[in-house]
Amino acid sequence: MNVSADFGVWVAALLTLFIFSFLYKDNPLYKFAEHLFVGVSAAYYVVLNFWTVIYTNLWQPLVRAFGGGLEGGPFAASQGDYRGWFILPGLLGLLLFTRLFSKIDWISRWSLAVIIGVYAGLKTTGFAQGDLVAQIAASLQPLWIPGNLAGSIDAILFTVGLIASLLFFFFSREHKGALGAASRLGVIFLMVSFGAGYGYTVMSRISLLIGRFQFLLENWLGIR
């Protein structure tokens, strides 16, 4: 046993133990660690977004534009450069802070409307290509693969599960007869899928827990 003399290791170890103390009951030590984690995380992401988003994508282009780097003024479309118009999203961003003042907080709705509309428009095609089209392409596979019995069985089970799961969400007819049997089979496939996803999530969380125990035993207490 060789306890670490590193101050940072001691801080991390104590905060880890403070979080583990919640297993006993809610207490001030756990609340201190929780509030510290939330505060540090919020501050970190504020600084990160300032330097990677606001400074890089807004401030620097505006400085170049209004510093005389464009012919015909900052709003000229010289060689396809529209950096001068970046002042508009900058102003919309500033309008978000009117939420802090009750008398003019309605102005922030303009910025929120633009953000939600632009985000929805950009992400619709992205999600369609990344999720919908990719899933449809993955479902178009041969049912029989010559020389590969396991692959053929897997393809057949996949196709049966896909069709049965889709029929479960077909509500235009009452689930009776063949449709009812197929929908019940779809429920089985869905439950297996949800169970596998939940099990994967639990395993990933257990891996994080094991990592913290390894940190406490090896890095902090020096037990190898």
In a domain, 131, yes or no: no
> Whole-structure pTM over 0.85, yes or no?
no
Is the predicted pLDDT of residue 192 greater than 80, yes or no? yes
**Residues 91, 34: one domain?**
yes
Residue after which a domain boundary falls, among 51, 86, 105: 105
**Residues 97, 147: one domain?**
no
In a domain, 209, yes or no: yes
Number of domains, the chain: 2
In a domain, 53, yes or no: yes
**Residues 145, 224: one domain?**
yes
Instruction: Domain of residue 205: give its range.
Output: 141-224
Q: Which of 139, 143, 182, 190 is nearest to 164 (CA)?
A: 182
In a domain, 125, yes or no: no
Q: Are 90 and 62 spatial neighbours (Cβ–Cβ below 8 Å)?
A: yes
Query: What confidence category does residue 79 fall into, taking pLDDT thresholds of 50, 70 and 90?
Result: very low
Checking 123-129 for CB contacts under 8 A at 24+ apart, the result is none
Helix (H, G, I), strand (E, B) or coil at 147: coil
Helix (H, G, I), strand (E, B) or coil at 75: coil
In a domain, 43, yes or no: yes
Which range among 117-131, 140-154, 201-215 has the greatest average pLDDT? Answer: 201-215
For 1, 15, 150, 180, 212, the CA distances from 220, given in Å and listed in that order, are: 10, 12, 48, 58, 11
pLDDT score for 52: 93
